[in-house]
Amino acid sequence: MSEGYYEENMAPVPGQDPKPKKSSRLWILGVLLAAAVIALLCGYLGAQIANASQQEEKVVIQKVETSSQDGGSGSGSELSAVDVVKAISPTVVSITTEQMELGQFWFGPQILSGAGSGVIISEDGYILTCAHVVSGADNIMVTTSDGTQYEAAVTGIYEDGDIAVLKIDANGLPAAVLGDSDQVQTGETVYAVGNPGGTLSGTVTDGIISATNRTITVAVENQGTQSYWGNGQRTISLEVLQTSAAVSPGNSGGGLFNGQGQLIGIVNAKSSGESQEGLGFAIPINTAQEIAEALINDGSYTAPNAASSNKAVLDITVMEVNSAMAQMSGRTAGVYVQSVTEGGASDGKLEAGDRIISFNGSVVATIDELSTLMADCEPGQTASVSVERDGQMVTAEIVLAENQNQTA
């Protein structure tokens, strides 16, 4: 026991003061106060470090604040075309994909290549593109405007909005500045940047906004229904901007920019009527940003109006056999029924293998044509569907169902 120590109910040591010295009490109090101060400082510093860490991990997306008084989708006066292109071109990337497909008859498994575009939306490597560009891909490569290649990982995909987010391991990238697609006006000058044909990366085309509120119906692959005829397909409806800027399939996922160099849309080149000229479409950036932020932060996205956006369907999955596939297989090119939902609208009326010839009297040769015809239908409506089955023409009257699973 140290000198001067005293404990209650213990006999005092002879020759010592039975009470603690005042200086000893003050020393103990000082130690306690110092410990409390140190604890508070540690807590404060810990909180600051945690906040700094969270800020470092937060994805920074540059967004321009605008108002309806700006007279367009951006703020300030338009830049020259040369200045716009200098600002926007480095933010657009080329995307190449590889996908393993099941055997096509006697040819065995095949590696299918694809190409598209994307837009860098954060300096630390998040890239916005279309879902159909990367959906089902086993390998995705991104090439930036300076020629640097990166292997990309999928952060998230929302196929019903045709939006996907990729991530590459990079920092200090030139990120696009997002405009406000709600303020877009018909007649605005716009620039599309992408990789048309999959071979012409960095191509810039210009035009105007032709319309601000278009609804298009497009076909997307129905993952999980792959067969010897490829993936089954289903249809989705998209609210898009229409532009006269020239776009091609490789432009899909690329950027549509306004006269201030701000990103106002993600180009979607899967439009109906391939023979039509001067028609390009883009998913509004406000919609794309909302989906992208949910995919980055939560890994998934649910549309606010998902419950009320269902369309009429036949309850089937379909696939399109193009002319090349038709020559190899000896079949006729067209749209074929791949599967029929048991108990669905077409159960007992259509069969797998049927080639759809017409819908409500209109000839059907592509999935886009079928999708466009069905876009005007409502659940409960009766549709007349003619198909070729075993060399015979069969016509079925089908009461269309409400779309619960986004099938055709």
- Residues identified as active-site: 132, 162, 252
| SS3 per residue for 174-185 | CCCCECCHHHCC
Contact call for residues 218 and 271 (beta carbons, < 8 A): yes
How is residue 339 written in tokens? 């599967």
Q: How far is CA 206 from CA 89, 93, 178, 284, 335, in A?
A: 13, 18, 18, 17, 35
Q: Using a CB cutoff of 8 Å and minimum separation of 24, what contacts does 52-61 make?
A: 59/122, 59/124, 59/126, 59/293, 59/296, 60/122, 60/123, 60/124, 60/175, 61/121, 61/122, 61/175, 61/178, 61/289, 61/292, 61/293
Cβ atoms of 367 and 335 within 8 Å: the answer is yes
DSSP state of 19: S
Neighbours of 317 (CB within 10 A): 22
Place of tokens 């409400």: 402
